[in-house]
Amino acid sequence: MPRFAANLSMLFTEVPLLDRFARAARAGFKAVEIQFPYELPVEQLQQALWQNKLKLVLHNLPAGDWATGERGIACHPDRIEEFRKGVDTALTYAAALGSPQINCLAGIRPADVTGQEARRVLIDNLRYAATRLKAHGLKLLIEPVNTKDLPGFFLSGTQQALDLITEVGADNLFLQYDVYHAQRMEGDLANTLSAHIDRIAHIQIADNPGRHEPGTGEIDYPFLFAHLDRIGYKGWIGCEYKPEAATEAGLGWLAPWLEHTQ
């Protein structure tokens, strides 16, 4: 059965981050993911996970200045040193918090950088990060992001990501498949999942349009969840959506599945 993790960067935002762990546990989650845990000391996050009997299943590499619109720096030729320092920071948090995998956001391609150069830098950075993570027994993920919501994002398609994974050649580099972004860019969700499930280490969900909770849009999530069972997906499903109202008020879609989350 599907196993769901609450994305604490997008759910329960009615309260500060540290208080969201308790909210997630009370709602029935056994796991969480956080986009960027770096705003808090690792010791506070450790305690919040332990007190609420939660596991952290994913966080991202540092992604530049999020407040000014940066969404990753892995394809930026002038930010390689910053990227590598970010790998060290992410590994420190992963080791302390028990996260088994770290996601790398490629970023928006700078206007003065060609696509060929951006790809070369991204591949070099992914090879570096994958090697560093493998030494700690961790997976590195890359995530296509739709360019309708985020124009200029360098990695936007499933096949593009798979081609990068093949070229990097690291056996701990996998695809993070975000159903919302894939629906916006490609559709054909079930066939894509079936074809590439062995290369997908993590899935995230939100409905379309609006990026709200499942059941608010066009995606047939009950079918997709059953489909993931049929094709043998064993990973976590991150609930990375924007609640239409208060988070708890929109969790009705999850009730039939929560007893199977472990």
- What separation in angstroms does the CA of 230 have from each of 193, 207, 222? 11, 21, 12
**Residue 256 lies inside a defined structural domain of this protein:** no
**Residue 174 lies inside a defined structural domain of this protein:** yes
Using CA atoms, how far apart are residues 149 and 96, in angstroms rounded to an integer? 33
Provide mean pLDDT across the span 1-8.
Answer: 94
**Residue 124 lies inside a defined structural domain of this protein:** yes
The predicted pLDDT at position 164 comes to 98
What contacts 244, CB < 8 A, 6 or more positions away? 210, 212, 213, 216, 250
Q: Is 218 a catalytic residue?
A: no
Q: Report the 10 Å Cβ neighbour count for 45.
A: 24
**Residue 116 lies inside a defined structural domain of this protein:** yes
Range of the domain at 27: 3-246
| Catalytic entry in 14, 33, 82, 143 | 143
Q: Is 143 a catalytic residue?
A: yes
The predicted pLDDT at position 257 comes to 82
The predicted pLDDT at position 262 comes to 43
**Residue 262 lies inside a defined structural domain of this protein:** no
User: pLDDT class for 101, splitting at 50, 70, 90?
Assistant: very high
Provide mean pLDDT across the span 27-43.
Answer: 97
| Catalytic entry in 14, 240, 244, 248 | 240
Q: Considering its fold, how many domains does the chain have in total? A: 1
The predicted pLDDT at position 69 comes to 87
The predicted pLDDT at position 40 comes to 96
Q: Is the pLDDT of residue 260 over 80?
A: no
Q: Which pLDDT tens digit goes with each residue over 67-86?
A: 888 899 999 999 999 999 99
**Residue 45 lies inside a defined structural domain of this protein:** yes
**Percent of the chain surpassing pLDDT 90:** 94
Question: Which residue matches tokens 């950075």?
Answer: 125
Q: Which pLDDT tens digit goes with each residue over 199-215?
A: 999 999 999 999 999 99
**Residue 75 lies inside a defined structural domain of this protein:** yes
**Residue 118 lies inside a defined structural domain of this protein:** yes
Q: Is the pLDDT of residue 243 over 80?
A: yes
CATH number of the domain within which 154 lies: 3.20.20.150
